[in-house]
Amino acid sequence: MGIAVEGARKRFGDFQALDDVSIDVPDGSLTALLGPSGSGKSTLLRAIAGLEALDAGQVAINGRDATATPAQKREVGFVFQHYAAFKHMTVFGNVAFGLKIRKWAKPQIGDRVHELLRLVQLDGLAERYPDQLSGGQRQRMALARALAVEPQVLLLDEPFGALDAKVRKDLRTWLRRLHDEMHVTTIFVTHDQEEAMDVAEQLVVMNEGRVEQSGSADDLYDHPANEFVMSFVGEVNRLGEHFVRPHDMTVLLDPDEGSEQAMVQRIVALGFEVRVEFVLADGTEVWAQVTRAELQKLELREGQIVHLRAGQRKSFSVAA
Amino acid sequence: MTAKWGLRGLAFGYLGLLLLAPVAMIFYKTFEHGLGPPVDAMTSPDALHAIWLTLLMVAVAVPLNTVFGVGCALLLVRHRWSGNAVIDGIINLPFAISPIVIGLSLYLLYGTGGWFGPTLSEWGVKVLFSTPGMILASIFVSLPFVVRETVPVLQEIGTEQEQAASTLGASAWQTFWRVTLPAIRWGVAYGVVLTTARVLGEFGAVTIVSGSISGQTETLPLFVARAFENFDEQGAYAGAIVLALLALTTLLLMSVGGRKAKASGGSTPVGPGEVAISMSSAKEVS
């Protein structure tokens, strides 16, 4: 059940957007497709919605093969980054669209639309036009429109990408709560790892048209499958063959077993956290994340020679 | 400040001298001796027939070119293929060719020595010197307007609204009527106004194919020209006024429709300049 994609391939001219992608999204879960631009995440989402035809592979929605089903009949709710609001219709008209297509009776449409507008906190704005709404309101309207027809799955393509930081944070908390109430299988695409970890139960990390790893946020952070995942889901230092998170770097004033000599290059205070940049004897640049208290205890100065010990190193075989 | 008023004065002076003065002169000359003479001139059987025939041209050519224009714009914008460049070029032909040449080409094609002429006259269809030929000429000269006005608007609205409609269960046909057409309606409406104005005023091509038989194949512009040549100044002026009024009515109908749509909150209408402005503001918002 849920959504299953098997061996998906898609090519646009010379560009391989999807290269043998398989994912499994459990029924009722909230899953994030995470990756840099051009990683194929949006193409995968559009293929699940039927907005893009796959060159090869299958898409199954709730156990039924949907590969040959057109978007019109897939019963998916799709939310676009730029809202795709019907500009010539009111908020009411937008949300009612799918119900009118399904030839619902007028009173039922009215009831359902107002129920949804309450859910997305837009009641009272039903007669407004999309032009008269803020970006956040438009996106909530788009969400209500997608939910109106009770889709089997909800697909969101960078839904908060066009919004400013504050609205973004509010909306993602709100989406999380909405999902807890509705339990409709949801996939959302993002390039922001913090957003993905904040909202989703399961993350699928994509790169160059392939799935690099999928799992919970903790899984990916603590047990990344490869260098790409390790550096995409968090900050990372490279020490020869090894990779270390900046908060796993310990700064020592005296040498210790396994420590390395380094010179403090720059100290950047970012509120509670402090970023200390070093250069090693071989010229490698690394940085450590320390707290304000640690910094004061160590009394670090720029130009000072210290010793670094890296805990929790990871190395990945070159073949991966 | 002075520079601004200077520019405004220049714009008004230029338009006044080139556009307003001649039109005002026609109005003045027509109604110089009151309403009687122009009304008499326009109620003669030949004049009434010319008005009727002109409206017939509009009634046939405008809907045909509107349906074709919207369909063609959809083809050009939504279904990209290599033949599009060719279609795009062919659509511009009526802009590039002088109407008189269009008339001549139709004359050659449908005349007694032309490709289609002999066959059609065997079937008893008379194209030249009758209504079908004039309709053909009207369609030819006014063909590009709806396409040209609709293509940029279609490009501007993009495909996301249409995709959203399809995920909500709408068929291609439902999507066209409920989403695409309302979104492009101002482009189409502007194209319709330009098409109508062109058909109303067409002279060159229609002169050649119609033969200008008064009371039979004479449209209003041809009526005006004949009146002028026959020193019937009153007829010429009155005919010109009727033509101008018909065109103004078209414009008026559209701006009334525009105000209604605006009052109900729809996107703002009219010319390509305004479309460009609303495009840039749309980008700022998103």
Structure confidence by residue, pLDDT tens digits, A213-245: 999 999 999 899 998 999 898 889 888 788 889
Q: Which residues of B touch A94 (CB under 8 A)?
A: none
Q: What is the mean pLDDT of residues A251-259?
A: 86
| DSSP structure string for A292-310 | HHHHHHHT--TT-EEEEEE
CB-CB: which of A51, A72, A83 is closest to B171? A72
**Tens of pLDDT along A158-193?**
998 888 888 888 888 888 998 988 889 999 999 999
Q: What is the mean pLDDT of residues B172-178?
A: 96
pLDDT for B280 beyond 80: no
Instruction: Judge whether A50 is closer than 8 Å to chain B, CB to CB.
Output: yes
Q: In the block, which residue shows the tokens 């999902």? A: A179
Instruction: Judge whether A87 is closer than 8 Å to chain B, CB to CB.
Output: yes
Q: Which residues of A touch B153 (CB under 8 A)?
A: none
Closest to B152 in 3D by CA, of B276, B58, B282: B276
**Tens of pLDDT along B49-68?**
999 999 999 999 999 999 99
- Asked if B167 lies within 8 A of A132 by C-beta distance, the reply is no
Which range has the worst mean pLDDT, A127-136, A293-302, B257-266? Answer: B257-266
Closest to B65 in 3D by CA, of B129, B131, B176, B150: B150
- Asked if A76 lies within 8 A of B167 by C-beta distance, the reply is yes
**Tens of pLDDT along A3-16?**
999 999 999 999 99
Q: Could you give the C-alpha distances from B179 to A248, B70, B185, B269, in angstroms and in order? A: 55, 14, 10, 17
Strands A273-280 and A237-239: unpaired
- Asked if A84 lies within 8 A of B164 by C-beta distance, the reply is yes
Q: In the block, which residue shows the tokens 């403090």? A: A264
CB-CB: which of A76, A84, A131 is closest to B161? A84
Q: CA of B157 to nearest chain A CA: how many angstroms apart?
A: 10
| b (16+ CB within 10 A) / e for B65-96 | bbeebbebbbebbeeeeeeeeeeeeebeebee
Measured over the CA atoms of residue B61, residue B63, residue B66 and residue B70, the dihedral's sign is negative
Which range has the worst mean pLDDT, A188-192, A270-274, A313-317? Answer: A313-317
Query: For chain A, how are helix, strand and coil distributed in percent, rounded to 5?
Result: 30, 35, 35
Instruction: Judge whether B265 is closer than 8 Å to chain A, CB to CB.
Output: yes
Q: Which residues of B touch A132 (CB under 8 A)?
A: 265
Mutate to test the interface with A, among B161, B166, B168, B275 (most CBs of A within 10 A): B168
- Whole-number mean pLDDT of chain A? 91
| CA closest to B262 among chain A residues | A88
Which of left, alpha, beta for B167 (phi over 0: left; psi -120 to 50: alpha)?
alpha
CB-CB: which of B163, B169, B182 is closest to A149? B169
| CA closest to B163 among chain A residues | A51
C-alpha radius of gyration, chain B, whole number: 22
Instruction: Judge whether B163 is closer than 8 Å to chain A, CB to CB.
Output: yes
pLDDT for B273 beyond 80: no
Instruction: Judge whether A129 is closer than 8 Å to chain B, CB to CB.
Output: yes
Give the Cα separation of B175 and A101 in Å (integer). Answer: 10
Query: Global pTM?
Result: 0.83
- Asked if A88 lies within 8 A of B266 by C-beta distance, the reply is yes
Instruction: Judge whether A98 is closer than 8 Å to chain B, CB to CB.
Output: yes
**Tens of pLDDT along B217-233?**
999 999 999 999 999 98
Which distant-in-sequence residues (6+ apart) come within 8 Å of B277 by Cβ? none
- pLDDT value of residue B279: 35
Mutate to test the interface with B, among A89, A91, A95, A97 (most CBs of B within 10 A): A97
- pLDDT value of residue A281: 86
Which range has the worst mean pLDDT, A270-274, B43-47, B162-166? Answer: A270-274
- Asked if B166 lies within 8 A of A72 by C-beta distance, the reply is yes
Domains identified in chain B and CATH numbers:
41-280 (1.10.3720.10)
Highest mean pLDDT out of A106-110, B230-234, B277-281: A106-110
Percentage of chain A lying above the pLDDT 90 cut: 67
Give the Cα separation of A300 and A303 in Å (integer). Answer: 9
Q: CA of A58 to nearest chain B CA: how many angstroms apart?
A: 19
- pLDDT value of residue B233: 87
Cα angle for residues B44, B48, B52 (degrees, 5° grid): 170
- Asked if A78 lies within 8 A of B167 by C-beta distance, the reply is yes
Q: Which residues of A touch B182 (CB under 8 A)?
A: 86, 88-89
pLDDT for B267 beyond 70: no
- pLDDT value of residue B158: 92
Instruction: Judge whether B164 is closer than 8 Å to chain A, CB to CB.
Output: yes
Token duo for residue A276? 């200390």
Q: CA of A180 to nearest chain B CA: how many angstroms apart?
A: 23
Give the Cα separation of B167 and B154 in Å (integer). Answer: 20
Give the Cα separation of A31 and A222 in Å (integer). Answer: 19
Residue A7, CA atoms < 13 Å, CB-side half-sphere: 5
- pLDDT value of residue B127: 84
**Packing angle between helix B160-167 and helix A135-148, nearest 10 degrees?**
30
Q: What is the mean pLDDT of residues A89-93?
A: 96
Contact criterion met (CB below 8 Å) for A124 and A61: no
- Asked if B267 lies within 8 A of A87 by C-beta distance, the reply is yes
Mutate to test the interface with B, among A52, A72, A109 (most CBs of B within 10 A): A72
Window A:64-83, CB contacts with B under 8 Å: 70-78, 80, 82-83
- Asked if B166 lies within 8 A of A87 by C-beta distance, the reply is no
- Asked if A149 lies within 8 A of B168 by C-beta distance, the reply is yes
CB count, 10 Å around CB of B228?
Answer: 15
Q: What is the mean pLDDT of residues B145-164?
A: 95
Q: Which residues of B touch A129 (CB under 8 A)?
A: 265-266
